Amino acid sequence: MKNFFITGTDTDAGKTVLTSLLIGAFKEIGLDVLPMKPAQTGCEDNIPDLDYICNVGNIHKTSKLVELMAPACFQSPCSPHLAAEKEGKSISLDMLLDAFDSLKKIVPHVLVEGAGGLMVPLNRKETMLDLINKFNLPTVIAARPGLGTINHTLLTVQILKQSAIPVAGVVFIHSNQEAEDFTTQDNIKTIREFGGINFLGSIPYEPMLDTTNPPCFNALPDKIKIESIKIVKKLLI
């Protein structure tokens, strides 16, 4: 069984898009998998990131399954620790671990998507980094391909390595239609050289994914599906 934690170099780095595509790719090659979003804010009428992932991954949600996949949901669109406090609650890492362990009993593969970056607080003492340590998972980093990504990505790699957390690799997520240029390729080379990590792939921009109600994986263009499956196969080696 292989499970992974998907983190990002920052908020809106592409974690949710990447997680949803990996879920779809796992299923496309015949593997049972479920997503988990341990802490989700901005939940009023729905659970935004989990709903997005389940749409792309074609995951049938039952109320019991949702409780495990998204065990800590809060209304305010802010950092998880603050959103919880506004509702008079506190996020317990042990509670999140219990949900994760329950998911592992249902399927052989679980992909866990973090919130923001590594140092986002979950409560007044613990961060997303502490949660990754508690879950004991190798981490996939979602990163932007453009200017600034070298610094952001290498800082993320550094803190993961300092915490003895295995880095499965980096994936670039394109959020606009700008074509790759010489800087993108050098960003890949430089991150590999300085970070000593794998570059797993690059997801091109796709307008169908740039929406709150994306289609299922099979309806996406072949270039997206092929690249996503390549990334999954690299992770499973």
Residues tagged active-site = 37
Question: If you write DSSP's letter for every residue of 108-166 in order, what string do you get?
Answer: SEEEEE-SSSTT-BSSSS-BHHHHHHHHT--EEEEE-SSTTHHHHHHHHHHHHHHTT--
Single out the residue of 210, 211, 8 nearest to residue 116, CA to CA.
8
User: Are 220 and 206 within 8 A, CB to CB?
Assistant: yes
Single out the residue of 198, 180, 88, 182 nearest to residue 139, CA to CA.
198
Point out which residues pair with 110 in neighbouring strands.
34
User: Are 170 and 143 within 8 A, CB to CB?
Assistant: yes
Give the neighbor-by-neighbor strand order of the sheet with 109-113. 33-36, 109-113, 4-8, 139-143, 167-173, 199-203
If phi > 0 it is left, if psi is from -120 to 50 it is alpha, else beta; for residue 68 that is alpha
